[in-house]
Amino acid sequence: MYFRIIGNDILKNKMITLVTMIFVAAAAMLVSLAAILTINLSGALDTLMTKSKTPHFLQMHSGEIDHARLTSFAEKNSNVDKFQVIEFLNIDGSEIILGENSLVDSVQDNGFSTQSEQFDYLLDLDGNIINVSEGELYVPISYMRDNITKVGDKAVISGQEFVVAGFLRDSQMNSTLSASKRFLVSENDYEKMKNLGSIEHLIEFRLKDLSALGEFETAYAAAELEANGPTVTYTLFKMMNALSDGMMIAVILFVSALVVAITFICIRFTLLSKMEDDYHEIGVMKAIGLRISDIKRIYLVKYVAIATVGSILGFGLSILFKGILLENIRLYMGEAENSSFAILFGIIGILLVLFSILLYVNGVLKHFRKISVVEAIRFGTSQEKSSGAKRFCLNRNWLFNTNIFLGIKDVLTRKKLYATMLAVLVVSSFIIIVPQNLYNTISSKSFTQYMGIGDYDMRIDIQQTSNISEKTDEILKEISNDRAISNYAALTTKIFKAKMEDGTEENLKVELGDHSAFPIAYSGGKAPVQENEIALSSINADELNKKIGDRITLVIEGEEKDFSVSGIYSDITNGGKTAKAVFTDNSADIMWSIIIAELSDTSMVDNKISEYLSKFGYAKISNVDEFVTQTFGSTIRSVETASYAAVAVSLIITVLITLLFMKLLIAKDRTSIAAMKALGFTKSDIRIQYMSRSVFVLIIGIVLGTLLANTLGELLAGAIISSFGADSFKFTVNPLSAYLLCPLMMVCAVLIATVGGTSGAGQIKISENIKG
């Protein structure tokens, strides 16, 4: 009997059944994809990091290195399992030519290494440790993805010729977020190249037990060993590798949550209207003594059918699409060993969706209890109270056209009914606006200030070289006489010991110089101005547990000096752990210095860069726009794509739901429509009434959606952005697109859907719906 009931019902409501099923399938597909991706990502990441034996602790160091002291530290420290020092030969991008492309525009630190002996292996694309022969060059995988070169290409490094023998996966530096990239050459070739660039040391440790990492870090700092460069730990490597795909999974999960929510709204609405239609029958069933659970089952069975078919469909789709989404993970990290489990987790995810839908349907069906037998049999409909808007009367209306008035009035009196549609429209405009604002924000010039980068045009890095101070002065002298440069500043980074509350000391990199020339955005407080002020990056402030106004003690020239924290800022440069101060110091070694400059004519930046490059070969000179593009370019592009996708998805959802809603509304309003027609209202009058209803709801939806987007959306986007290191965040809105173009697109979508959904109104026969 159930099959007959379901069959009839589905045939009668083809469109509604189909839409509900599409939403269930979409939700199931997304959840299954998210599960499959998560398992694959974590599996592939584990495989990669296990096979390549990623170091647990890495200290980069430029300058001389005391091998004996390091070895004795490693031997004495009981936590250390293995220890090695790898050389990383830094060669300027302009000296690296792969096939036909030069890496002159690359902002990455490109360096050359040999294969490690104990751990931190560089792997080929099959996950094997690469055994490199003379004359062969293995290139970081990201250059394969960017189509810079291919296997078999000729490579010329500072005049020395190689053949690109393959691509490598580097568990340390794979991620685009990592600033360095390692190329692999044979020992002999390396020896020949050694004098062509500057050598940086990677001091690497594997610990017996990863949980002792914190303890080991403190011990390393306390031993005052080589530390002229950033420190990176295993956890950070893992995070950097997982971040971009992790974000994709997060977005998929977010979208699937939205789709599930919309599915619920859909189900709630169709179910309640169905119950409204069947009011009389339900009353009779109750009256003749059928149990509520029996009646419920009749309705539940249909949704079991829809949800099951939708879930199976969704699972099929997720299997179909997983390849595309797994491409990046496979390329950068290889196959996951546990990928067979992934499907299982996908199925579990889908079952979760299925059960939550059935639970929800069951919940909605609780409304049966509220149906009064007497009312149902006597009136055949629920006696809904029309409430509110009593003052909004036709006999006092001189403002609106009568059809528009009737549309608005209907929305105002049946608020509960329209709340469903409103909710969908609010969600839709929210998902249109938030990604778009996010894209505008991160692609705007001012955003870099949130990232710790001021609004300058050209950046000159002087690092990994001797006599940094003299070289900086040399360039500064040139710049001060250069009329094309309108403003500049030199910032020098030095390491100082910071006294911790527990008496231990920790290294703090402090950038000294004039911070007012190119101000950055402070999430709290202000830039340091006085000699005894210091500003901390937010990660440092967190780690050192300091707030604005707190005091911090640094050891300068052997003496302890107190500073007060003047401000906290977001920073993505140098691992996010920086500080800024203005005091002068002649003692400590300079780690690096940068000169930042603004040009009077920004179109001249590239010329200026070539000019300075030819004069100061030791400096790394880059265009800031390029720096930003290469660092965030892929993220900005993904967000841009996501924002277009969001517009498309929202518009589809808007059209589908409006269509569905209008169809249901027409079915519900048959008698009123017939009455209108009898009174001489034309088909187009009725269409205008329904259009005004949907446009009125849409306007409220857009206003609420926009408000939500600019409050809650900003918070959400801020949370995503803060994962990049920026934590004070305000949307940059493009008013034309956010407040005019997108609403206009939604209006069009809603109007088209309304016309489509209400086309049935024309067919309503007066004689069939008005009983004489």
| Residue ranges that bind other proteins, judged by CB under 8 A | 383, 386, 390, 393-398, 401-403, 406, 409-410, 413-414, 671-672, 674-685, 765-767, 770-772
Alpha-carbon distance of 704 to 711, in angstroms, equals 11
Q: How far is the CB of 421 from other proteins (least distance, A)?
A: 17
Alpha-carbon distance of 270 to 514, in angstroms, equals 65
Q: How far is the CB of 393 from other proteins (least distance, A)?
A: 6
Contact 725, 451 (CB under 8 A): yes
Q: How far is the CB of 380 from other proteins (least distance, A)?
A: 12
Which of 329, 244, 626 shows the shortest CA–CA distance to 458? 626
Q: How far is the CB of 40 from other proteins (least distance, A)?
A: 54
Residue indicated by tokens 């290469």: 630
Contact 93, 619 (CB under 8 A): no
Task: Indicate the residue among 411 and 489 with the shorter CB distance to other proteins.
Answer: 411
Task: Indicate the residue among 3 and 398 with the shorter CB distance to other proteins.
Answer: 398
Alpha-carbon distance of 295 to 290, in angstroms, equals 7
Task: Indicate the residue among 409 and 497 with the shorter CB distance to other proteins.
Answer: 409
Task: Indicate the residue among 39 and 408 with the shorter CB distance to other proteins.
Answer: 408
Q: How far is the CB of 672 from other proteins (least distance, A)?
A: 6
Task: Indicate the residue among 151 and 770 with the shorter CB distance to other proteins.
Answer: 770
CB atoms within 10 A of CB 517: 16
Tokens of 748: 């069009």
Which of 109, 99, 114, 118 shows the shortest CA–CA distance to 185? 114
Helix (H, G, I), strand (E, B) or coil at 282: helix
Task: Indicate the residue among 411 and 475 with the shorter CB distance to other proteins.
Answer: 411
Task: Indicate the residue among 459 and 693 with the shorter CB distance to other proteins.
Answer: 693
Alpha-carbon distance of 233 to 700, in angstroms, equals 50
Task: Indicate the residue among 34 and 411 with the shorter CB distance to other proteins.
Answer: 411
What are the residues whose beta carbons fall under 8 Å from the beta carbon of 72, sequence distance 6 or more?
A: none
Q: How far is the CB of 694 from other proteins (least distance, A)?
A: 16
CA–chain centroid gap for 105, Å, is 26
Q: How far is the CB of 413 from other proteins (least distance, A)?
A: 4
Task: Indicate the residue among 362 and 684 with the shorter CB distance to other proteins.
Answer: 684
Q: How far is the CB of 404 from other proteins (least distance, A)?
A: 10
Alpha-carbon distance of 380 to 444, in angstroms, equals 60
Helix (H) or strand (E) holding 666: helix 624-668
Alpha-carbon distance of 99 to 105, in angstroms, equals 15
Q: How far is the CB of 283 from other proteins (least distance, A)?
A: 19
Alpha-carbon distance of 279 to 376, in angstroms, equals 6
Q: How far is the CB of 728 from other proteins (least distance, A)?
A: 49
Alpha-carbon distance of 670 to 721, in angstroms, equals 50
What are the residues whose beta carbons fall under 8 Å from the beta carbon of 385, sequence distance 6 or more?
A: none
Which segments of 401-465 are extended strands (E)?
Answer: 458-463
Contact 382, 279 (CB under 8 A): yes
Contact 156, 97 (CB under 8 A): yes
Q: How far is the CB of 680 from other proteins (least distance, A)?
A: 2
Task: Indicate the residue among 409 and 620 with the shorter CB distance to other proteins.
Answer: 409
List, as one string, the DSSP characters of 576-600: G--EEE----SSSPEEEEEEEEEES
Helix (H, G, I), strand (E, B) or coil at 57: strand
Q: How far is the CB of 395 from other proteins (least distance, A)?
A: 4
Alpha-carbon distance of 168 to 125, in angstroms, equals 6
Q: How far is the CB of 426 from other proteins (least distance, A)?
A: 23
Alpha-carbon distance of 624 to 596, in angstroms, equals 9
Pairing of the two strands 109-113 and 180-184: parallel
Residue indicated by tokens 């007959």: 4
Task: Indicate the residue among 128 and 386 with the shorter CB distance to other proteins.
Answer: 386
What are the residues whose beta carbons fall under 8 Å from the beta carbon of 277, sequence distance 6 or more?
A: 667, 668
Task: Indicate the residue among 124 and 410 with the shorter CB distance to other proteins.
Answer: 410
Task: Indicate the residue among 402 and 641 with the shorter CB distance to other proteins.
Answer: 402
Residue type (1 letter), 258? L
Tokens of 422: 């409103």
Task: Indicate the residue among 14 and 771 with the shorter CB distance to other proteins.
Answer: 771
End-to-end CA distance of the chain: 36
What are the residues whose beta carbons fall under 8 Å from the beta carbon of 296, sequence distance 6 or more?
A: 362, 365, 368
Q: How far is the CB of 759 from other proteins (least distance, A)?
A: 14
Alpha-carbon distance of 174 to 240, in angstroms, equals 9
Q: How far is the CB of 414 from other proteins (least distance, A)?
A: 7
Task: Indicate the residue among 316 and 762 with the shorter CB distance to other proteins.
Answer: 762
Tokens of 687: 């269409």
